[in-house]
Amino acid sequence: MNSTSFYVTTPIYYVNDKPHIGHAYTTLLADVLARYHRNLGQETFFLTGLDEHGQKVQQAAEKCGVEPMKHCDKMAPRFIELWDKLHISYDDFIRTTEKRHKKVVQGILQNVYDSGDIYENEYEGLYSVSEERFITEKEAESGEFRDIKELKEKNYFFRMGKYQEALINHIKTNPKFIQPEHRKNEVLGFLKQPLNDLCISRPKSRLNWGIELPFDSDYVTYVWFDALINYITAPGFMSDDNSFQKWWPASYHLIGKDILTTHAVYWPTMLMSANIELPKSIFAHGWWLMAESKISKSVGNVVDPISLIDDYGVDPVRYYLMREMVLGQDANFTIESFIKRYNSDLANDFGNLLSRVSTLMKKNYDGKIPESGELTEAELIIKSKGESLGKLVKDMIEEMRINDAIEETMQYIRSVNKYMEESAPWKLVKEDKEAAGRVLYTAGEALRISAVLLSPVMPNRTEILLEALNAKGGNLDWGGLKSGSELKDHKPLFPRVK
């Protein structure tokens, strides 16, 4: 990957599930990062998609009495519609049932087989139908696995254990490979035990909805061995060398903490065996909880993002999810905290500043941006903070402190509101129109810079704001607001909600 390109992925979601706020979160996080990097002028590739093979899909299709492919085609639009509604700016959407993907999975399987890293063995052990994998006695006792049965069958195994030392070394020498730090330690802890080989086949007699092994047509591939490969299929592995060179290794695989082992252990060892560079970073975020439980279909406490968007608008939902979660920790979703954030941050602080500034400019300056004039101490403080804010936000985003980056910008907006209170341009304009113009110019320009910095999080409403100030574009230098240019009419940015 060249240093100016940025490649970010989300997990590919099980096509069977109805997308909820948890899926929306990871996708949104990827979207915010992608938009942020695009704004910096970096070439960006943002991949998301669907995981369509495996037992659960096969069973669900059987239940509906349709072919699995038909079932997938029926379910897939639910995700695509949600991503459209959430204004997700993905560059590619991959489905594991696509031809381009099957070709790569079979290519990798054949390479790994030819190099001797896949072998055949008879295996007898406990199998969790719900997790679609063999489990150890200890795992069975943990109570975390459902539908457990004894199975004895011939299967193919990937020599994952062979790469244990190499993986430990890689993790230790690349401190950013697994983030945050506590997840890295968790994986290193897991790797203290001997790493078993991985069963990567399922006999067709038991499951046929998968990608056939190129070296044994009686078997299909284990769904994770298939799914993980999506991250290299999309940028062009085995199909477009230039594109693959350009994007790989990925900058970030964003995942929830539930799928850390598959990403931080299975995936890198698969890549090592296939002689492909490892991704730069795997970042595992925490869970959205409701009343202490993970939001999930099986718990039955899902929040439907669509109805939230319909009720409050897409940007407030995006804002809340990004502002409320400290990346790496769990966060609590409550409608009360959503409404509180909306009213205090968006309606009172952000929206209110625009309406004050634009109303006063319209009333006293013929609806035009006034002259900025000679700045006094108070304006110089705001200007200097505005000039350093971009760098501060950039550093925080690079450290994956999205919530802090947002809060830093909101604090700036609050300080500008305070400056407005103190300078009272609505009074000042009666005595000194030039001075009041200076105050309004300064507040408007600070607002413009804040909107540019918040645009990856709230692309829509910040665009309305920038249009209202007649200052579209992503310039972060002080002075982007042009004195004399006409303000545009706009609806209230964030009407208060009850």
User: Which among 159, 52, 59, 156 has a CA at the least distance from the CA of 101?
Assistant: 52
In the bound complex, what is the minimum distance in angstroms from residue 255's beta carbon to ligand MSP?
5
Nearer to ligand MSP, 25 or 494 (CB): 25
Q: Which is nearer to ligand MSP, 111 or 332 (CB)?
A: 332
| Nearest residue to 100 (alpha-carbon basis) of 230, 284, 270 | 230
Options 288, 365, 441, 494; binder of ligand MSP; rule CB under 6 A = 288
State the Cα–Cα distance between residues 490 and 473, nearest whole angstrom: 18
- How far apart, in whole angstroms, are the C-alpha atoms of residue 246 and residue 251? 12
By CB under 6 A, residue 101 contacts ligand MSP:
no
Is 295 a residue that touches ligand MSP (CB under 6 A)? yes
Nearer to ligand MSP, 92 or 371 (CB): 92
Residue 425: name the closest of 357, 475, 335 by CA. 357
- Is residue 347 within 8 Å of residue 494, measured between CB atoms? yes
Residue closer to ligand MSP by CB (options 17, 315) is: 17
Q: How far is the CB of 456 from ligand MSP (least distance, A)?
A: 19
| Span from 65-73, 140-148, 213-221, 287-295 in contact with ligand MSP (CB under 6 A) | 287-295
Cβ nearer to ligand MSP, comparing 216 with 258: 258
Is residue 395 a contact partner of residue 436, using CB atoms and an 8 Å limit? no
Q: Is there binding between residue 316 and ligand MSP (CB under 6 A)?
A: no
The helix (run of H) or strand (run of E) holding residue 200 is none
Smallest separation, CB 45 to ligand MSP (Å):
16
Does the protein bind ligand MSP through residue 26 (CB under 6 A)?
yes
Rule CB under 6 A: is residue 25 a binding residue for ligand MSP? yes
Q: At what angle do helices 305-312 and 68-85 cross, to 10 degrees?
A: 30
Is-contact 45 6, C-beta < 8 A?
A: yes
Identify the H or E element spanning 384: helix 377-398
Q: Does 12 bind ligand MSP (CB under 6 A)?
A: yes
Phi and psi at 290, nearest 5°, equal -135, 125
296 is an interface residue for ligand MSP by CB under 6 A = yes
Q: Sheet containing 212-213: give its strands across.
A: 201-203, 216-221, 212-213
Which residue in this structure is represented by tokens 């020498």?
173
Q: Is 11 in the site for ligand MSP (CB under 6 A)?
A: yes
Closest CA to 60 of 68, 70, 69, 48: 68
What is the footprint of ligand MSP within residues 224-283 (CB under 6 A)?
Answer: 227-228, 230, 255-256, 258-259
Q: Which is nearer to ligand MSP, 225 or 419 (CB)?
A: 225
Q: Do residues 295 and 287 lie in contact, with contact meaning Cβ atoms separated by under 8 Å?
A: yes
Is the Cβ of residue 11 or residue 210 nearer to ligand MSP in the bound state? 11
Restricted to residues 431-460, the positions that interact with ligand MSP (CB under 6 A) are none
Convert residues 317-356 into a mask of x (bound to ligand MSP by CB under 6 A) and - (unbound). ----------------------------------------
CB of 22 to ligand MSP, least distance (A): 2
Nearest to 160 by CA among 200, 195, 128: 195
Tokens for 485?
């240019």
> How many chain residues interact with ligand MSP (CB under 6 A)?
22
User: Which member of 13, 156, 244, 319 binds ligand MSP (CB under 6 A)?
Assistant: 13
In sequence order, the 6+-apart residues with CB closer than 8 A to the CB of 329 are 286
| Closer residue to ligand MSP, CB minimum distance, 204 or 294 | 294
Positions in the binding site for ligand MSP (CB under 6 A): 11-14, 17, 22-23, 25-26, 51, 227-228, 230, 255-256, 258-259, 287-288, 294-296
